[in-house]
Amino acid sequence: MYRILAERYPDAACELDFENPFQLLVATVLSAQTTDVTVNRVTPTLFARWPDAAALAAADRTELEEVLRPTGFFRSKAANVLALAADLVERYDGQVPGRLSDLVTLAGVGRKTANVVLGDAVGVPGITVDTHVGRLVRRFGWTTEEDPVKVEHAIGARFPRRAWTDLSHVLIFHGRRTCHARRPACGACPVARLCPSYGVGETDPEKAAKLVKPGPVTAA
């Protein structure tokens, strides 16, 4: 199933724009409860004004909130990235640590965010268990676990470590474009014949094809 999906999405990659680990870390924190497209509209202004951890840690909160307003929950997100930047400055000399055990101690950073940063900006393989990945691996019958950490370990045991980051991207692409939460496009799915959940969505090929979203996707 992974091989087939990888062929369907040869361009699967992180859809957040970034130039370095710091930018990806902040962007991933901001992506909670909004779309990558929205975050990508905000981050050029954000990083032009506050290009590194030291600058962001010293940002005026009111000004920062206004920049982050389009992402939703902008007050709490401003508080999170201010605390995150301060953590980086105080504990890591302004640099993003390269170990999961260190990343998850930073303000507002969980395993999902840490694995995104490690896999896409540091080159350390990781499985990102967001809502799409969790939904798909359960539909595929790869695991019955609900807890994201247990899902991460269960899927990690099925695939070689070198595949983890790319696997995450492929599953996220498929979840955003075809295997939707509410109405999956089963009739347009390349792994339909292998999927034990085939039929939970639209099976008519023509109707299913209309449900498939092209990239970049603007909604989860």
- Report the catalytic residues: 112, 130
Alpha helices in 50-159 (DSSP H): 53-57, 61-68, 74-92, 100-103, 111-117, 131-139, 148-156
To which H or E segment does residue 168 belong?
helix 164-177
- How far apart CA 177 and CA 166 sit, in angstroms, is 16
For residue 162 the two structure tokens come to: 């070198």
Contact 38, 71 (CB under 8 A): yes
Give the distance from CA 88 to its chain's centroid.
21
Rg (CA), the chain: 18
